Amino acid sequence: MRRRARIPGFDADVAVVGAGIVGLTLAGALAHSTPWTVTVLERAPVAPAADDNEPDPRTLALTVASVRLLSAFGAWQRLPPAQRGPVRRMAVWDARGSGRIEFDAAEVGQPELATIVENRRLLAAVDAAVGGYAHVRRERAAELTGFEVDTTAVTLALAGGRRLRVRLVVGADGAGSRVRELAGIDFIHTPYRQAAVVCVLGTELAHDETARQVFLADGPLALLPLAQAHTCALVWSTTPEHAQRLCALGEADFCAELGAACGHALGRIEHCGRREAWPLSRGRATRYVGERVALVGDAAHVIHPLAGQGANLGLMDAAALAECLGHAHEDDRDPGGLATLRRFERWRKGENLFMQMAMDGLRSLFAADADPLVRLRNTGLGLVDGMRPVKAAIMRRASGVAGDLPALARAH
């Protein structure tokens, strides 16, 4: 790959605002597959530590496609196997009926459906991998406060008064995106009146590399297998009041309430780590691009975590944008040019909307309390469980290997 020299008058070709999982992955994908120079700006002063012994209550279920992408630029290899929990099987059931569906990765010829990782450890691995590329600069305590666009550049203003001139600014700055706001892009945002309680748990029975999700009256409760046989991550979506109460309970009472709520699927809950409650909402930007601006990840779309897809969609945005910018470089085009950015938007917007609607549909179906609907969905679960081709299609979609994948996320 031909390395670019910095163009005089520019601090970098691309500025990525936000060093969350999506922003860092975009930087890694760009560095690996294009010669564009990149600056990552993150307002938090300190990078996530990989060697902190306390488990991070926040975990991510990464799809097969996301793992391929993270491997492509050398991040996945930095995460030791003891920090990766493979999901080989999945069981989903309705607490208000007998409907149940089970999935097995072997049925679609894959070693796993997903991998569960702690957020902080994954971020540290991606950050370290990105640090190995000479044409990426990472800046911390660097908060974007404003920008101005002209015909050739975008000038960014940082808190403290510093200015940076680049050719494209990418908002990877999360649901409350400042980049989106400064670009005048509308965000349709709807709170769900739900919050998710997350923590890491020790269980009496081994999880057998199986993810379990039970739909309760107030929302889904997921027990996700981590690398150790008796350790799971919890994502329990419920009312905000209940979530608050769950976080305030003593450990023994919390473990007892959780054990009962999941029908003691893993025997006794023996202990749990720090609990956090995250408010849940959905949101979508009406546009992903503007003049010299693009949005990726939660800055562009926020979805319910019930199928663990939010970050995965963001990672595919990152890979798709890196690929479009790679083509722009090959054709000697401006990375901030609207034609390049629109190609990225056409590629990702429909895909993300489809997933958002699917999650909303599932959420509403399982929230319904009326008897006929409860009967219908339980019968439906049982029926689908017997249909191998339908299950195979669901598994391929859930593990991210279906659809129009960017090259870095395809099997190599």
Ligand X SMILES: Cc1cc2nc3c(=O)[nH]c(=O)nc-3n(C[C@H](O)[C@H](O)[C@H](O)COP(=O)(O)OP(=O)(O)OC[C@H]3O[C@@H](n4cnc5c(N)ncnc54)[C@H](O)[C@@H]3O)c2cc1C
Phi/psi of residue 132, nearest 5 degrees: -80, -5
Among the listed residues 36, 4, 2, 7, the one whose alpha carbon sits nearest the alpha carbon of residue 322: 36
- Ordered DSSP codes for 146-202: EEEE-SS-EEEEETTS-EEEESEEEE-S-TT-HHHHHTT--EEEEEEEEEEEEEEEE
Q: Which of 97, 140, 278, 396 binds ligand X (CB under 6 A)?
A: 278
Between residues 234 and 329, which has the closer beta carbon with respect to ligand X?
234
**Shortest Å, Cβ 216 to ligand X:** 16
Question: Residue 265 interacts with ligand X (CB under 6 A)?
Answer: no
Cα dist from 277 to 28, 48, 89, 176, whole Å: 30, 20, 27, 18
> What mask, x for binding ligand X by CB under 6 A, covers residues 115 to 154?
----------------------------xx----------
> What mask, x for binding ligand X by CB under 6 A, covers residues 363 to 402?
----------------------------------------
**Shortest Å, Cβ 98 to ligand X:** 27
Question: Residue 198 interacts with ligand X (CB under 6 A)?
Answer: yes
Look up residue 402 and give its two tokens: 């279906």
From start to end of 226-361, where are the E strands? 231-238, 269-272, 276-285, 289-290, 293-295, 301-302
Question: Residue 220 interacts with ligand X (CB under 6 A)?
Answer: no
Q: Using CB under 6 A, which residues numbered 297 to 336 contact ligand X?
A: 297-298, 305, 308-312, 314
Total residues binding ligand X (CB under 6 A): 32
Cα dist from 54 to 125, 199, 208, 233, 351, whole Å: 17, 11, 23, 13, 36
Q: Using CB under 6 A, which residues numbered 6 to 65 contact ligand X?
A: 17-23, 41-44, 60-61
The pairing of strands 289-290 and 219-225 is unpaired
Residue 92 and residue 377 in contact, taking contact as beta carbons nearer than 8 Å? no
Tell me the residue number closest to ligand X, measured at CB. Answer: 20
Question: Residue 92 interacts with ligand X (CB under 6 A)?
Answer: no
Question: Residue 178 interacts with ligand X (CB under 6 A)?
Answer: yes
Please identify which residue in the block is written with the tokens 């000038």.
155
Residue ranges that bind ligand X, judged by CB under 6 A: 17-23, 41-44, 60-61, 143-144, 172-174, 178, 196, 198, 235, 278, 297-298, 305, 308-312, 314
